[in-house]
Amino acid sequence: MDGLQRGASVDEETEPEEPKVGDCCGEGCNPCVYDIYRESLKRFKAKRPHGISADSLGLDKIEFKPFRLTIITPQTKDTSIYRFESSERISIKIGQHLELLVPCQSENGVKEVVRKYSPIAWTDTSFDVIIKRYANGEASKYFDKAEPEDVMSWRGPYGNFSYRKDDQEQLVILCAGTGIAPVIPIIRTIVENSEDETTIKLLCGSHTLEDRLLMDTLNELKAFWNFVFTHYVTSNDGEAGWGEKVIRGRIQETDILNVISASNKKSKVLICGSDSFCDDMKETVRKTGADFHCF
């Protein structure tokens, strides 16, 4: 009920507060706290059409808007980076996500589903998302047929993640698979700020060496003094490249405890991955007493 209260606005003279991380359970509730938030925002905008300014012209938190797919860049056999462009200016902040409206075939014709993706990079008129295609996934079938010049419908951005360089001395990031997407812009923001001395330690899980995502970006970022990363790979396929730090197996509780406890620095932890991965990571991080944020 707390999430519903935060997602809705009692006083329509005040702009409704966006749901906080964790308010949405991810179980497909109808209505979802985000549905309630959007309805409250719609009523607020209708009542005060000139009272607020849009976050961005090409993106809207209520209505889906068209974006043109311009580039598809394969990453692995089933994962690619998709670039979308708008004719209008857009505004996205680190840690935010967007929603895509996906038309899917069903027994009764076409149904529409909504999928969430975190941009890994963006400009004033475009953004990149990394998408994994699953064998029987509804959205995956849609992207299997996607080609440059296709027009897709997006809305957002959502998410109230905030970062201040003085909040922690060390940032520990625990992610798996495409869970790396929301943290890449955060890492880049920190390391490219010469006044930010926060150290970053990334522990990233994947099934195989070939499944590792955004390796070019990670290798680019590791040139900065305050960023290091370790991959945890559950298979025994192939050999890691020169200078790569790869541990065979899953991210263990002892690994997390050592990274956080071995340093005298005040730590904050970011977590992103599957529901089961996040649950496991949160349980361990709680034992350390460190502040954490789960995407």
Q: Cα 165 to chain center, whole Å?
A: 20
pLDDT of 23: 60
Q: Are residues 108 and 179 in the same domain?
A: no
Q: Is 163 annotated as ligand-binding?
A: no
Tell me which of 78 and 25 has the higher pLDDT: 78
- Tell me how many domains the chain contains: 3
Distance between the two ends of the chain, CA-based, in angstroms? Answer: 21
Q: What is the pLDDT of residues 14-33, one digit of tens each?
A: 666 666 655 665 555 666 76
* 180 and 280 housed in the same domain: yes
Q: Is 130 labelled as part of a ligand binding site?
A: yes
Share of the chain above pLDDT 90, in %: 64
Comparing 102-111, 162-171, 250-259, 267-276, which segment has the lowest mean pLDDT? 102-111
pLDDT at 79 over 90: yes
Amino acid at 36: I
In a domain, 30, yes or no: yes
pLDDT band, very low/low/confident/very high, at 137 (cuts 50, 70, 90): confident
What tokens were used for 213? 């995502």
Same domain, 37 and 144: no
* 81 marked among binding-site residues: no
The answer to the question of whether 134 is labelled as a binding residue is: no
Residue 54 lies in a domain: no
Comparing 230 with 44, which gets the higher pLDDT?
230
The residues facing 74 across adjacent strands are 80
Query: Final residue of a domain: which of 96, 131, 158?
Result: 158
For the chain, what is the mean pLDDT? 85
Clarify whether residues 286 and 199 are in a common domain.
Answer: yes
Residue 271 lies in a domain: yes
Do 176 and 281 share a domain, yes or no? yes
In this predicted structure, what is the pLDDT of residue 1? 32
Residue ranges of the alpha helices (H) in 60-201?
138-144, 183-191
- Give a yes or no: residue 186 inside a domain: yes
Q: Final residue of a domain: which of 99, 130, 158?
A: 158
| Range scoring the smallest mean pLDDT among 82-91, 217-226, 233-242 | 233-242
* Whether residue 175 sits in one domain with residue 284: yes
Distance CA 37, CA 15 (A): 10
42 domain-assigned: yes
pTM for this model (two decimals)? 0.81
Q: Is residue 150 part of a domain?
A: yes
Do residues 86 and 180 both lie within one domain? Answer: no
The verdict on 122 and 209 lying in the same domain is no
- Structure token pair of residue 289: 């007493």
- Does the annotation flag 268 for ligand binding? no
Distance of alpha carbon 278 from alpha carbon 270, whole angstroms: 10
User: Tens digits of per-residue pLDDT, 101-112?
Assistant: 998 876 777 788
Residues 182 and 282 in one domain: yes
Least confident of 47-56, 223-232, 250-259, 283-292: 47-56
- Residue 228 sits in a domain of what CATH number? 3.40.50.80
The domain containing residue 33 runs over which residues?
2-47
Q: 3-class secondary structure for 64-100?
A: CEEEEEEEEEEEECCEEEEEEECCCCCCCCCCCEEEE
In a domain, 38, yes or no: yes
